[in-house]
Structure 1
């Protein structure tokens, strides 16, 4: 995965604000595609991506970032996306003190005191 970073859009540019994304996660981009509009102290400028691949993550619109900060992550050709979260375990762990193959006894709970449901009231 490659990082697409905030380019220096002028000799004196230190930060830029992402005003608009022209791509979304999952979109395929090619080198030279305009992918965002960034506001600098000199005005709004179209930003080109010089990577080939699929957009994975984007910073939120409206965020100001310094030159060189990561704007997006791009999956390169042949790469696959990493799973968002780890898979849950297949079987739950037994409670402490339980032996494998045994079932813990179930104790009935006491009925709740107080008035019953509204439909049963006279």
Structure 2
């Protein structure tokens, strides 16, 4: 799910702007992953190994805050969002993240899953 460029969407278009691979910065990625809600979204996308709609996620926040979290993930380069009909599909940009920061996403996901298991066991 790698976008070709970070061009702005055309007026009236339903496409969304994404950073090109070379525009993704580690500080933006780490910032996006530092929020528990966004980390949960990334964990769910990774576990699904497929694109998921925004409505698939049951988050403990308002709809506007959910939109904000997805925007932060998209603008940081972690997720790709594509409209299919009326559904906004979300997928991880694994290839881009792995090329730029080898092992980062998998390490964060493993640590987050271990933490979730530890907290569930408490």
TM-score, length-scaled by structure 1: 0.22
Structure with greater Cα Rg: 1
Give the structure with the larger helix fraction. 2
Give the structure with the larger strand fraction. 1
TM-score, length-scaled by structure 2: 0.22
